[in-house]
Amino acid sequence: MKYDCCCLIVIMAIMVASVLPVEVAPYVWGEQLNESPRLVGEQGDVLLVRISLADHPLTVVGTFLRRQVPFVSVGDGPDYVGLLGIDMQDTPGSYALKIKASYPDHTVPMSMSVRVINHAYPVQRLTLPRTMVDLDKNTLVRVKAEAKTIKNVFLGLTKERWWMSAFVKPVEGKVSGRFGSQRIINGAPRSPHSGEDIAAPRGTAVVAMNEGMVRLTMDHFFTGKGVIIDHGLGLFSMYFHLSAIEVDQDQRVRKGQVIGKVGSTGRATGPHLHWGVRLNGARVNPYALLSIPAEGFSQPE
């Protein structure tokens, strides 16, 4: 692979595992590589990709499995970072992350191989009232409309980055439902669990994992009372089954700000928080974000 001679390329990726304890493994390459850099991550992982360019491009955008991976400058220097999400059900194998740096009169293409590794998810068996599982016609209409509403939120792309420092856990408690677990409800297999369930006493404060904008407050059949926050660059966080919502739609929130209280609204068997994350359309383990070092994407002092 060849790079434009005007650019010094240094690429670093940090793999953050989707299960705890987390191991952080750095990979570093220099310019004029003979072969593509190689990244490795499990299903549900988040990869922090840092590139350095000698000049200041107008835009830097990556593409991975038809999902856009925007890069953003981290100061006045040459560094750009992007968060690449591996979806919980991406098929294991090797795929290309193609990055294009656009300048006024030319573009610089880059490419690296990303190897997706299978993650062995657990099986979780639940027993729920039939009215919560076997839905009548009217409820099905409601559920489909609510799913479309949430999907439309995720289609939005804020080009500004609002997350500026390390991510925080929204609530302390015991993990009662693991990300990616294959759910068997009343003896029948259902869709895998796309978030982390954190059990906590009813009324416990729930905080925003980072700065962002509230894109949706809701009271839906499955999620109950919930909040979706847009953190910019295709990163969204979800907080479901709340007993109370403490923010308004289109409100700007700070990291650590109380946005609601733990509850059991919607389809829930007890008080807990369902914490989910979408990263450019990929369903990723929210705990992966907690292990990204703040210095990896913070603005310099």
Residues 239 and 93 in one domain: no
pLDDT mean over 77-84: 86
Spatial distance between the Cα atoms of 189 and 195, rounded to a whole number of angstroms? 17
Of 75, 103, 120, the residue at which a domain comes to its end is 120
CATH code at position 251:
2.70.70.10
Residues 34 and 176 in one domain: no
- In a domain? residue 25: yes
Residues 98 and 154 in one domain: no
pLDDT digits (tens, 9 = 90+) for 164-201: 888 999 999 988 767 767 766 666 666 677 889 999 99
Q: Any idea how long the chain is?
A: 301
Q: What is the pLDDT of residue 21?
A: 26
Of 120, 153, 174, the residue at which a domain comes to its end is 120
Q: What is the pLDDT of residue 72?
A: 87
Residues 181 and 255 in one domain: yes
Spatial distance between the Cα atoms of 179 and 62, rounded to a whole number of angstroms? 26
Domain limits at 177? 123-289
Of 120, 151, 185, the residue at which a domain comes to its end is 120
Residues 81 and 132 in one domain: no
CATH code at position 97:
2.60.40.10
pTM (2 decimals)? 0.82
pLDDT mean over 43-69: 90
* pLDDT over 80 at 272, yes or no: yes
Residues 131 and 210 in one domain: yes
Q: What is the pLDDT of residue 207?
A: 98
- In a domain? residue 19: yes
- In a domain? residue 91: yes
Q: How many domains does the chain have?
A: 2
Tokens of 279: 């990263």
Between 19 and 109, the more confident residue is 109
Q: What is the pLDDT of residue 33?
A: 33
- C-beta atoms surrounding 301 within 10 Å: 4
* pLDDT over 70 at 232, yes or no: yes
Residues 54 and 68 in one domain: yes
- In a domain? residue 299: no
In sequence order, what are the beta bridge partners of 59? Answer: 102
Residue 169 CB-density burial (10 A; 0-12 exposed, 13-18 middle, 19+ buried): middle
Residues 196 and 78 in one domain: no
* pLDDT over 60 at 6, yes or no: no
Spatial distance between the Cα atoms of 93 and 116, rounded to a whole number of angstroms? 5
pLDDT digits (tens, 9 = 90+) for 194-228: 889 999 999 999 999 999 999 999 999 999 999 99
